[in-house]
Structure 1
Amino acid sequence: MSEKRLPNILFIMADQHRADCLGAYGNTDIRTPHLDQLAADGVVYESHFCNAPVCTPSRYSTLTGLHPHQHLGWTNRCTIQPELGTYPKTLKRAGYTTAAIGKMHLTPTYQDVGFDRMELVEQNGDGRYEDDYHRYLQNLGLIDYVDLLDQVNEYRQQAPEHYWDSRGAMVSDLPEEHHSTAWIGRRGLAEIDKWGDGGNLLFLSFVKPHHPFDPPASWSEMYDPDALKLLPGWTESCLPRDLEKHTGFFPHEQLTEQQLRLCMSYYYATISHIDHYIGNIVELLKHKGLYDNTLILYTSDHGEYLGFHHLLLKQNYMYDPLVRVPLIVKYPGMSAAGERCAELTSGIDVTATLAAVAGEQPGPDMTGVDLTAPLAGRRYVFSENAKGEQYMVRSRSHKLILCKDDAKSLFFDLQRDPLEMTNLYADEAYRDMIAEHKAALHQMILFDAPAPVFLYEDAKLLEAPNVPSAGAQVPAFAGWVREKMNEALTREP
C-alpha cells in the first residue's frame, strides 16, 4: 500500500472525561457542537470502558493493547517495558509518520514508545519540569499557578482558602492563549497543516478536563452553575462504604451542592474549550481535503464522579461514571456514519483498531478487538486498579467489583439498580452469577490475556569478575560449541 493511500489517523484523548458529559451521549446542558458533529459522521460506542481508573495505567493499556497486569504499569510513575509492542510502533512499520502532542504521562518523560516526535504537556511528577509546555511558559515568565496548587503537594499544603472552598474550581491564572488546551490545540493545528495525503498519525492528548477545573477567562463564564442539571447518581450524603474506601482528594462528606455546581460549570467549560480546538482541527482537515481519508478517534483515559454518590474526582470504587468513557470514531470514507454501538468495548480495542485501519496485524500479545470488524457480542469488559487491589468485571446487565479485601467487594444488578446503590455481593440469589463474573476474570488473567515476554538486553549487569560484558563472549563460545559439535557429528557412524 503506498503512503498516499494510507489513511491519516488523528487519535484525540482527553483526561478524566466521563461519557455522559457530551451532547452526543445525551447531555443537554453541555455545548460540544464539534464533537457532536464528529459523532454524527462516525460511530458512538455507548458502552466503552477504560482498563484502569488512573491516568498512566489506562494510557499504557491504549498504547500497548494490554491490561495493566500485563504491561505492569500500575501507577502514575512507571515505565513501559521497552520490548512491548505499541500502536505507534505498529503504524511506523506500516509506513506512518508518527507524532504525539500533549500529555503522555510517561516515566521517563520522553520514553521512546514509537513516536517520531513528541511535544509534551505534563501535569504530574517530574514531567512538568521537563516538558515543552512548561519551558514555553518559563520563556514567557509565566507559571500555571492554579495547576501547581492542585498538583504539587508542596504548594497544595500552602493553598489559600479559596482553593479548598471551590474544590479547585478556579479561573485559570493564564491568558487563554497560554492555557494548556490552547497550546495543545495550536500545536495540533500546526502538525496537521504539514500533513500530506496520507500516512500520518497524530496522538493529540489534552490535559483537561482533569482537575483542577480551571478554564481561562471568558470560557469560565460559559455556564451558569445554577442552571445545570445535576448528573444521575447525586446523593445528599456519602455512602458509608465509599467513605471507608477513600475520604477524597477534597473531603467528600463536606461537598455541598453549590460547590458541585461550580465544579460542573468549570468542568463543562474545559470540555467546551477542547471542543473548540477540535472544531478548528476538523475545519483544517476539510480545507486540506483530508477529512474523508482521516480516522478520528476521541476518547478519555478515565472518567469522573462529579457528584455521583456525593463523590468528586476519582480514588474510590470503579463505579460507571469513573470507568465508562466516551469513544467516538469517525472512520475513513465516512463508513458507518451515524451509527451507535451498544456492544461492550474496551480501551485495549484502540490498539487493534488502529492497526487494522493501517492494514497491519496487532502484536501477538495484544488482546483487544478490532472495532472495524463485526463485534461478536463480548460478554465482559475488565478494569484493574492498584496492583490487583480492585478489579471490575462488567457485563451488559451486572457488575462485579472484586477487592483484595473480600469484605469490600461489591456486586450490582444494573438493570434494577443502574446507580449502583445496593450491594448484592452477599445475596445468595446472585451467588451463581457472581461466580460467573469471577470465572470470567480468572479466564482473562490466566488464559485470554497471556503475559507478554519481557526482553531488555541492555539491562544492568551484576558487576563481578565472573560476569562477562553483555554478548562479548557469545560468538567465541558459540564457535567453540559448533566446533565440538562438528567433531562429535563426524564420529557418528
Structure 2
Amino acid sequence: MSKPNILIIMADQHRYDCIGAYGNRDIRTPNLDGLSRDGVIYDNSFCSSPFCTPSRYSFLTGLYPHQHLGWSNRSTIPKEINTFPGLLQKAGYRTKAVGKMHFTPTYLDVGFESMLLAEQNGDGRYEDDYHRYLREHELMDRIDLMDQVTEYRAKAPQQYWDTYGAMASDLPEAHHSTTWIGNQGLAALDEWGEQNELLMVSFIKPHHPFDPPKPWDAMYDPERLQLLPGWTEQCLPADLRMHEGFFPHAKLTEPVLRQAMAHYYGSISQIDHMVGQMIDKLKSRGLYNKTLILYTSDHGEYMGYHHMLLKSNYMYEPLVKVPLMIKYPNNEQAGERSALLVNNIDVSATILEHANVEKAKFMAGRSIGSLAGKPRTFVIGENGRGRQYMVRTDRYKLILTNDSGKSAFYDLAADPFELSNLIGDPAYEHDIRTCREHLFQTLLFDAPSPTYVDPLADRIEGDNVPSNPSIVSNLAGWIASNWQ
C-alpha cells in the first residue's frame, strides 16, 4: 500500500459557514470550493477547545485538553505524548510546519523536523521567522501588534476602538502574514521529493484584528453582505454575565459588524487565493492525486452571533463548529457531504490510518473511516481546566460551567440559534442527564489522562543523590544477576 503525501492547511478563527461550499453566498472561496468538490465536506466538525493552543494540541495529539494538559494559550504538553507528526516522522515521513503554531516554547518539538513560524501572540512574535523577516525589511505589523499586546493596545488610536479592529493592514500584500505563510508553503512543496511528505501550513488569519491588506480590504461591500445566522439586535444578559467582550459586545452596532465582516471575508478570500496556488503547485508537479489535503480551523468566531464578536463566551455553534474538508488520495469520495459528528481529536487517527501508521495507545480520537461504521453519538469540548464543558449530540447541547448558575442546555432542533436555555426545564431532565453521563463517561473512563513520566526531570542536590541515571540501571542489573 503506497503512502500518501499529506498537506494540512489550518486557518485561525474561521467560522464554519464562511466558505462558499458551506452555503455562504456572499463570500468568494473558489479554491476551497473546488477542493471540496474533489473531497468530502464534514458538516458537523467540532473543535475540542474554543481557544487556539489547547485546540491545536488536541489536533496534533488526538487527545482532549484534560489529557494533553495544554489548557491555555500559554501551555506546554509533556514531551512523552505522541503526536501524529512525530509518529509519521518515525515511519519515514519528512515533516515540516510553516506559519502559526502558538506553542510554548515557540519552537516546541511536536514531531516536525523543521518549522518556519509566523506567530501573533506571546513571546512567539518576538522570536519567530516572520517577524525577523519584517525587521529585515524595516517593516512592522502595527495593527496586529496593538491588537495582540496589552501595552500597545492601551495606546491604540480611536479608529481601532471605533472599528473593533477592522482596519486595512499597514503592510503591503507582499509582506502580509498570509502572503508570507503561503509563500513558505509553496517553497516547501517545491522541495517535495521521493520521500513521503507531511506539510502543515497554518495561517494567522482570519483571526482578529480584521486587517487584510489592499486590495483584499475592499473586496466586499459591507452594505451588500447578508448578516450571518444568529445575529440579535441586543446582547443576551447571560452572555454579558459570562464575558463582556474583548471589544464591548453591548456597544457593537450593525455598521461596525458589517465592516468587520467585510474585512473578515477579505482575509478568508486572501487565504483561499494562497490555497489555490498550493493546489496548482501540486497539480503542476503531478502530486495532487496522491496527496491527502485537509482544510480546517482551530476554532470558530461569533461574527455577530448573539450580538458578539470574537470568542471568550459560551461554546455556541459558530465558536466550536469548524470547517473540515478532506480531499483523500485519488479523490476518493469526491463530492460527498458527511453529517457525522467529528471532533478535531479524530484528525490524528484519520491521517495515521491513511499513512498506514498505528495510532498511539492513549489517543482518544477515532479515524473518520471508523466513524462511518460506528458513528459518534456526541462530541465534547473543554475550556479552561474545568471552567466550561460542552456535550453536543445531533440534537442537544449541554454546557456545564463551574458556576452552576451559568450552565445551559439547548434543543438545537427547535432552537438552532441557542436563544432559549432549558437547563431547568423538567421536560428535558432525561436528556440533560444523558448528556452529563456522556461527559462523565468520557472524562473518567473513555479518555483517561495518560501518566506523565520524566526520568530526567530536575532532582535535588545531595551526596546521596546519584548524578548519573545509569546508576539505576546498573543497580537493577546487579539485583537481577544476584537473584536467587
TM-score (norm 1): 0.97
User: Match of 1:53, SS?
Assistant: coil
Q: Which position in structure 2 is the counterpart of 1:237? A: 234
Find the counterpart in structure 1 of residue 320 from structure 2: 323
Kept after mapping to 2: 8 A contact 1:223/1:268 = yes
Cα distance, 1:450 vs. partner? 1.9
> What secondary structure sits across from 2:275 in the alignment?
helix
In the alignment, structure 1 segments of 5+ residues that lack a partner are: none
Partner of 1:398: 396
Contact 2:142 2:170 in 1 (8 A): yes
Distance in 2, matches of 1:122 and 1:360, equals 30
Q: 1:481, CA displacement in angstroms?
A: 1.8
Residues 1:120 and 2:152 aligned together: no
Name the CA distance, whole Å, in 2 between partners of 1:338 and 1:74.
36
Give deviations 1:447-486, integer Å, cap 9, x for gaps. Answer: 111211212222111223332225142244224323441x
In structure 2, give the amino acid aligned to 1:308: Y
Distance 1:82 1:185 in 2: 29
Does residue 380 (structure 1) correspond to residue 373 (structure 2)? The answer is no
Is the aligned partner of 1:190 residue 2:161? no
User: Is the 1:197–1:290 Cα contact (8 Å) retained in structure 2?
Assistant: no
**Structure 1 CA distance for aligned equivalents of residues 82 and 458 of structure 2:** 22
SS, match of residue 46 in structure 1: strand
**Any idea what SS the aligned residue of 1:125 has?**
coil
Inter-partner Cα distance in structure 1 for 2:352 and 2:80: 18
How far apart in 2 are the matches of 1:84 and 1:97?
A: 20
Contact 1:7/1:198, CA 8 A, preserved across alignment: no
Specify the SS of the correspondent of 1:208: strand
**Structure-1 residue corresponding to 2:309:** 312
Query: How far apart, in 1, do the equivalents of 2:405 and 2:42 lie?
Result: 34
Task: Report the AA paired with residue 431 of structure 1.
Answer: E
1:35 match: 32
Counterpart Cα distance in 2 of 1:372 and 1:395? 19
Q: How does 1:67-466 map to 2 (within 5 A)?
A: 67-197=64-194, 199-373=196-370, 374-466=372-464
Which amino acid letter does the alignment assign opposite residue 99 of structure 1? Answer: K
- Indicate conservation of the 8 Å contact 2:379/2:391, yes or no: yes
Residue 196 of structure 1: how far off its partner (Å): 2.1
Q: Which amino acid aligns with 1:449?
A: A
Which is worse superposed, 264-273 or 86-95?
Answer: 86-95
Quick one: distance in 2 between partners of 1:433 and 1:286? 49
CA contact (8 A) 1:98 1:200 kept: yes
Question: 1:87-118 CA deviation, whole Å, 9 max, x = no partner?
Answer: 10111122110000000111000111111100
Q: Check the 8 A contact 1:6/1:198 in 2, yes or no.
A: no
Mean CA deviation greater in 122-131 or 471-480: 471-480
Aligned to 2:322, the other structure's residue is in SS state coil
Q: Secondary structure at the match of 1:342?
A: strand
Q: Which moved more, 1:475-484 or 1:245-254?
A: 475-484
Letter in 2 for 1:397: R
CA contact (8 A) 2:94 2:195 kept: no
Q: How many residues align?
A: 483
CA positional deviation for 1:198: 5.4
Percent identity of the aligned residues? 58
- 1:406: Cα distance to partner? 0.9
For 1:471, give the aligned amino acid.
Answer: P
Cα–Cα, structure 1 residues 271 and 215, in superposed 2: closer, same or farther, change >3 Å?
same
- Supply the distance in 2 between the matched residues of 1:101 and 1:469 (Cα, whole angstroms): 39
Instruction: Give SS of 1:11's match.
Output: strand
Instruction: Quote how far apart the aligned CAs of 1:376 are.
Output: 1.5
Distance 2:286 2:129 in 1: 30
Q: 1:198 to 1:292 in 2, by over 3 A?
A: farther
Does the residue aligned with 2:199 lie in a helix, a strand or coil?
Answer: strand
Whichever residue aligns with residue 400 of structure 1, its letter is L
Question: Structure 2 vs 1, CA of residues 210 and 375 (structure 1 numbering), >3 Å: closer, same or farther?
Answer: farther
Q: Which structure 2 residue ranges, 5 or more long, are not aligned?
A: none
Is 1:51 aligned with 2:48?
A: yes
1:361 is displaced (CA, Å) by 1.2
1:107–1:55 CA distance, 2 compared to 1 (3 A): same
2:59 alignment counterpart: 62
Specify the code of the residue in structure 2 equivalent to 1:284: K
Distance 2:473 2:193 in 1: 46
Partners of 2:4 and 2:355 within 8 A in 1: yes
Aligned partner of 1:17 in structure 2 is 14
Counterpart residue number, 2:469 = 471
By how many angstroms is 1:217 displaced?
1.0
Q: Shift of residue 250 of structure 1?
A: 0.3
The equivalent of 2:4 in structure 1 is 7
List per-residue Cα deviations over 1:61-89 (Å, max 9, x = no partner): 00100000000100000112100000101
The two structures, once aligned, show a CA RMSD in angstroms of 1.0
CA distance in 2, matches of 1:476, 1:368: 39
Partners of 1:367 and 1:236 in 2: CA distance: 40
Aligned equivalents of 1:52, 1:480: Cα separation in 2: 49
**2 CA distance for matches of 1:35 and 1:340?**
14
User: For 2:369, what is the secondary structure of its paired residue?
Assistant: coil
In structure 2, the CA distance between the partners of 1:87 and 1:182, relative to structure 1 (3 Å rule), is: same
Match of 2:368, SS state, is coil
Contact 1:48–1:346 (Cα < 8 Å) also in 2: yes
Shift in Å, 1:377: 1.9
Cα gap change, 1:229 to 1:439, in 2 (>3 Å) = same
